[in-house]
Amino acid sequence: GLETDTCYYGVVVAPDSNGFEGAPSAEASATPRLLPLAAYSLRALPFYFGMGLSWRASHELDLAGYNLYRGTDSTDLERINLSIVTDTTYRDSGLLSDTMYFYATTAVDTQENESEKSALVRGKPVSLDRGILLVDETRNGTGQPGNPSDAQVDDFYHAMLGGFGYTDWDASELGVPLAGDVGPYSTIVWHGDDYSQQQLFPALEGIANYLTIGGRLWLVGWKPVLALVDSGQYPFTFVPGEFAYDYLHITDGFNQSWFDFQGATGFSGYPDVSVDSTKLYASAHGRLPYVDAFAVLDADTVLRFNSFSNDSFAGKPVGIRWLGAQSKAVFFGFPF
């Protein structure tokens, strides 16, 4: 019989048999409401021509369940569940390729009162039919040797992908692509050809989901192992449950920090790699620093480190390939 949307405060005291009351408990407060609180922490992970939704459970005592809303416009959503959803997950199937879908959920109580909509989430379903997503995560440089400009990097990768269908994604303008962005593409080519910043880590959950469903990834860059862990110091060791172990099939990552990498020897049909000294400053002597090498679980080694000093990095894998039944990935520890 309390008034809705009004905050009430209360304490509890204990009387004894003589009617004397003890000290009051700590004060507590609560606000009864007519409408349930909105559901929260809604997440969307795409699957093949569908979207998997999940959210945090509400703990209101009169909760009956949830409604789900979908639209291709963020301002025009329609309910998609025929009956109240009592779980905190929902699979929305039969979606269109390369179409952005927006979702929200509401909570419903036993008297059919419905909450406000949750915060929106969005995503495109996995279809693997839209060619290559070319993700430019390379820092925009000055154009001087060793510090290429955005235009130079774009020209290089566009020339390399000539004849293939691809879509540009510039991380400096759009942010990194997340799970709901990558699903339509058959392959992700992701380059981070600078060693001063790595932006891959926030995208790993979405890429892992994409690879699990059958996507393909080529990851290339400067100090790319660091991008897989976000922070820390070399060397890194990877265990089951981590992206590097589960999807790239490597167990360790190392970094040769000084100017020692003068190229790589190709295996399994891959050509040898050499360093273009005209793209480096003179003091580099045609060699690259900060090149990553790996210890391999069961991936194919396709490139091995050519060391100027012939030190412990000589012959280590710097390019690996995993061709699984579902996911396929190629990983290079040096910038193109």
pLDDT at 196: 84
Please give the average per-residue pLDDT across 220-237, as a whole number: 94
pLDDT value at 108 more than 90: yes
Confidence of residue 281 (pLDDT cuts 50, 70, 90): confident
pLDDT tens digits, one per residue of 41-82? 999 999 999 999 999 999 889 999 999 999 999 999 999 999
Express as a percent the part of the chain with pLDDT over 90: 89
Confidence of residue 233 (pLDDT cuts 50, 70, 90): very high
pLDDT tens digits, one per residue of 144-199? 888 889 999 999 999 999 999 999 999 999 999 999 999 999 999 999 998 888 89
Express as a percent the part of the chain with pLDDT over 70: 100
**Overall pTM surpassing 0.85 (yes/no):** yes
Three-class HEC string of the chain: CCCCCCCEEECCCCECCCCCECCCCCCEEECCCCCCCCCEEEEEEEEECEEEEEEECCCCCCEEEEEEEEEEECCEEEECCCCCECCCEEEEECCCCCCCEEEEEEEEECCCCECCCCCCEEECCECCCCCEEEEECCCCCCCECCECCHHHHHHHHHHHCCCCCEEEEEHHHHCCCCHHHHCCCCEEEEEECCCCCCCCHHHHHHHHHHHHCCCEEEEEECCHHHHHHCCCCCCEECCCCCHHHHHHCEEEEEEECCCCEEEEEECCCCCCEECCHHHCCHHHCCCECCEEEEEECCCEEEEEEEECCCCCCCCCEEEEEEECCCCEEEEECCCC
